Structure 1
C-alpha cells in the first residue's frame, strides 16, 4: 500500500566511549513529483550513551558507534518510536518488552493485529530469519533473530499503522514485535529502539510502502542532512552517476539476493590504481565476494587480498607524515589493524592521500577525516589513536565487501528500486536541509 501523503504541504573488543546518533526528527516536508509524493526529513546528530542501538541479523559482529535513525509513529492512537534505518536488513522490528523501557506497547493500539501462523506472511522466506518463523502457544507467528555476537531477539510478527513525519496518512505494515531481547555484551539492551529494514526483500519497509526510490545525504557529525522517501528530481543536486544493482537469479549460499549489491571494479590511492585483477572483486561460484552498500554498518570492509593491497599502499603513501602504532595485539573493532599515533595537541591531521572506490559507472572518493577515525578513550602517552577506516572482512569471517555509511558522508545516495541502480554524487550534505527549507 502506498502512503497517503497530502501534496498540499510546504516545502571483537567493546570500547568504553560515547556513541553518536544520527537522528531524523519528526519534522518533515512533503513535495510532489510527477509520479508520487516524496517525504523529506531532516537529519541531525546528538550524543547518547553506549548500548542503545538495535541490532540486525547477518551483521558484522562488533559495536557500531553511529546509526541512522528515523522517528515514526505506530499504532492507534499513535506512539512515537525511533527506528534505525538499515539498507542491509529486511524485517523491521520494534522493542515491545513492556517490563522494561519499551518503545512500543501493542496493548495500547487498537489497530495492532498479530499475524497468525496460518497466514502466508508467516511462511514468507526472509534472510533475516536465521530460524524459520514458527507457531507459539496461541498459534501466532513467532520469529527469532540471532546475531554473530550471540545476542538475539524474538517475538511475534504483526501488522499495525505506521505514519512518518507530519504526514496525516498511515499504512499498515508487517513488522516484528520483539518482547525478548538478549545482549550479553550490553547492560542497556532495554534501551534498544527498533529497526527499519530497507533492503529489497518483500517484507522491507520500502517494499511494503511501494516507494520507487529513496535517497539520503549524510553529513559530518555537527551538521544537518536529509532523507527522502519517494521519487523526486531536484536540479540543485549534482548530476548523479549510476551504478547498476547486480542481480543473480540462481540461489547461492553466500549471496544475499535482496541486498543492494553493486560491482566494485578497482581502488585507487591518490592517483595510483591498486594492481588487483578485477576477478578478485567479483563473487565466486558460491556467491562469496559480493559488494553490498549498507547503511547499517559504519565502516567499510574488504576481503583479505584487496584489503592487504590497500593497507600496504596507504601505509607506503603516509610513511613520512604519520606514525604507525606498532602493537600487533591492538585491532580496532576486530578488523581494523592499521592505526596511527597522533599528538593530543595536534590541531589537525596532515593531508592524506585519497582512496577512491571504483564501481561500474560511478566512483566514491574518500578524503580527509573520513580516512582515519579517532578511537575514543584510547591514549598512548601524549598521543591519541587514529585507525584507518577500512577493515579486513576476513578477520570477521564475512564473505563480502561491505560499504559502510562512514564513507557515504557528503555523498548523495539514491537507491532507485524501479531501475535497479544506485546513484552517487558529491554534495555538501549540511547544506541539503537548507535547500529543502528544513531546520533541525
Structure 2
C-alpha cells in the first residue's frame, strides 16, 4: 500500500455529510463547497439540509459524516491510495474521536465463516483471518510502518442525499501509529481507490472530482457525473488512461489510480532520461500513483536525482542551498534552501512539468518550495523542494501527492478508466457552479 498515512502532512478538508433525502442514484451529482481556514479541532460545520455543504481544509484531508442508526458523526481521512475504509471503535486516552458500534442498531460484525470474509477480502494487502470470537479479522499496514487492526463489519453510511445500507468497513480496536496527534483528531480513514471494498465502489459512484484551492478559501468536491450545463468548461480537461495490470504482481497496487509518467521538464528542458525508467518492471515496481493521502510527490532515485540536479542548476544564483548533508525533511526531501524572512515572496523559479500519457501537470511558484516548520539557520528560514526521493522511504513507486494538485480540477472516471486534469482557479470554478463559501 503506497499511501503515506501518518508520514506526511495531508490537506485538511472538513466536509460535513448528512442523512439522505432519497435513495442512492449514481447518476446524481453531489457538489460540496470548500473553504480554507485553520479550523480548531471540534469546530466543524453545522448540519444543513442541502447537498451544497461547506468543505474546509488546513492540514489533513478529512471528511466529517454520519454513520450508523441513529447517526454518529465521524471524521475520516479521504485517501485515494487506500481501499478498505475503517473507524476507530475502541476508546482510549489517546483518541478523542471514535465510533461506538454498541450505540447503533444497524451495526453488524461479519463472521469469519461468511462468503464476504472469505472472498471479498482476498485482494487486500493482508487477507482477512478468523479471530478468537470467530469474527472476520482484518489488518492494514502503511508505508510509514503504522498499522491498524480489528473486525470487518457492515453499517449504514450516508453521503448527502445518497445512502448505502450494509457498507463494509473495518471496526478497528488496536494499532500502532507514527502520528498519535493526528489519530486523536480523526475517527478513521475513507478508502477511495478502485478496489471492490472502497468507498466510491460501494457507494456506486462512477466518477468523482475535486479541486483544491491554492489561492483563497474556496474549492469543490463532486461525487457523480456533473452533467449540468454549468460544467461545460470541463471540456478543457486532458485525460490520461489508467494503467491496467491483469495479473497480480508483488509490487503493483492494482487498486491504485495508476497513470503512465513519461517524462519531466524543468522550464522547457526535458530531463535526459530513458522512458524505460518510468515503466513498471516485471515485479510491478515503478508504477505512478495519484494519491490524495500523501502531501508531496515522490520519485524513484534515478529520476529524483536528475530532477534535483537540473532544478539546482537552473536556480543557481537565485536560491541559496542549505549546506547540511544531515538535514532531510519528511525522511525523503534533501534538496533544501535558505530564504531571508525579510524578502518579499519567493524568487522566480523554473516550472516543473510532469508529462503523462495524454496530459501534463505543471508545478510552479510557491508549490515548488515548502517552508519547514520551526526550521531556521540563523535568521534564515528553511524551505525544501516539494519533490522527494522514494528510495529513501523504501517505496518502489512514483507517488503524486495533493500538494501538486492544487488549483487543478482532478477527475477520477472509474467507468472509462482514466484521470482528467486541467488548470483551474478553484475559487472561480466555485462561482461558476454557483457555490458560495
> Is the structural similarity TM-score above 0.5?
yes
Match of 2:237 in 1: 240
Q: Is the 8 A contact 1:21 1:46 kept in 2?
A: no
Contact in 2 for aligned 1:18/1:49 (Cα 8 Å): no
Q: Distance in 2 between matches of 1:346 and 1:360?
A: 39
Does 397-406 or 77-86 show the bigger shift?
A: 77-86
> Aligned equivalents of 1:49 and 1:319: distance in 2?
40
Distance in 2 separating the partners of 1:380 and 1:90: 42
Structure 2 residue 201 is the aligned partner of structure 1 residue 204: no
With over 3 angstroms needed to count, the CA separation of the structure-2 counterparts of 1:73 and 1:86, relative to structure 1, is same
Is 2:248 the partner of 1:255?
A: no
User: Paired residue for 1:89, among 82, 89, 96?
Assistant: 82
Shift of 1:402: 0.5
Matched, 1:72 2:69: no
Alignment match, 1:103: 98
Q: Who is 2:393 aligned against?
A: 396
Gaps of 5+ in 2: 42-57
The 3 A distance-change label for structure 1 pair 396 and 197 is same
Q: Does 1:115 align with 2:110?
A: yes
Question: Does the residue aligned with 1:94 lie in a helix, a strand or coil?
Answer: strand
Alignment counterpart, residue 24 of structure 1, candidates 15, 36, 48: 15
Q: Which residue of 2 aligns with 1:55?
A: none
Which residue is 1:61 aligned to?
none
Q: Deviations over 1:195-238 (max 9, x none)?
A: 11111100001111121111010112741211111112311335
1:340 aligns with 2:344: no
Gaps of 5+ in 1: 1-11, 51-64
Q: Distance in 2 between matches of 1:114 and 1:209?
A: 19
Tell me the secondary structure at the aligned position of residue 84 of structure 2: coil
The Cα offsets for residues 168-194 of structure 1, whole Å up to 9 and x where unpaired, read as 644431001112233255366443321
**Alignment of 1:217 onto 2:214:** no
Kindly report which structure 2 residues correspond to 1:302-341, keeping only aligned pairs within 5 A, or say none.
Answer: 302-341=299-338
Matched residue of 2:234: which SS? Answer: coil
Aligned residue for 2:280?
Answer: 283
Contact 1:225 1:433 in 2 (8 A): yes
Q: Is 1:160 aligned with 2:155?
A: yes
| 8 Å Cα contact 1:126-1:201 kept in structure 2 | no
Residue number among 36, 43, 48 corresponding to 1:45 in the alignment: 36
Deviations 1:227-270 (A, max 9, x none): 11111231133511000001111211111111111000011100
Q: Alpha carbons of 1:185 and 1:85: their partners in 2 closer, same or farther (altered >3 Å)?
A: closer
Structure-1 residue corresponding to 2:224: 230
Q: Contact between 1:91 and 1:128, CA under 8 Å: does it hold in 2?
A: no
Query: What SS does the corresponding residue of 1:235 show, helix, strand or coil?
Result: helix
Confirm or deny: 8 A CA contact 2:351 2:365 kept in the other structure.
yes
Q: Is the 8 A contact 1:243 1:360 kept in 2?
A: yes
Q: Give 3-state SS (helix, strand or coil) of 1:102's partner.
A: coil
Q: Work out the CA distance in 1 between the residues paired with 2:268 and 2:315.
A: 14
When the two structures are aligned, how many residues end up with a matched partner? 409
Counterpart for residue 9 of structure 1? none
Task: State which of 142, 146, 150 in structure 2 corresponds to 1:151.
Answer: 146
Note if 1:383 corresponds to 2:380: yes
Output the CA distance in 1 between the equivalents of 2:144 and 2:207: 33
Alignment root-mean-square deviation, CA: 2.6
Aligned match of 1:372 in 369, 374, 378?
369
**Maintained 8 Å contact 1:211/1:230:** yes
Whether the 8 Å CA contact 2:9–2:59 is kept in 1: the answer is no
Inter-CA distance 27–130: structure 2 relative to 1 (3 Å threshold): closer
Distance 2:414 2:156 in 1: 24
Report 1:420-431 matches (<5 A). Answer: 420-431=417-428
8 Å CA contact 1:25–1:42 kept in 2: the answer is: no
Give the distance between the partners of 1:21 and 1:42, measured in 2 at CA.
14
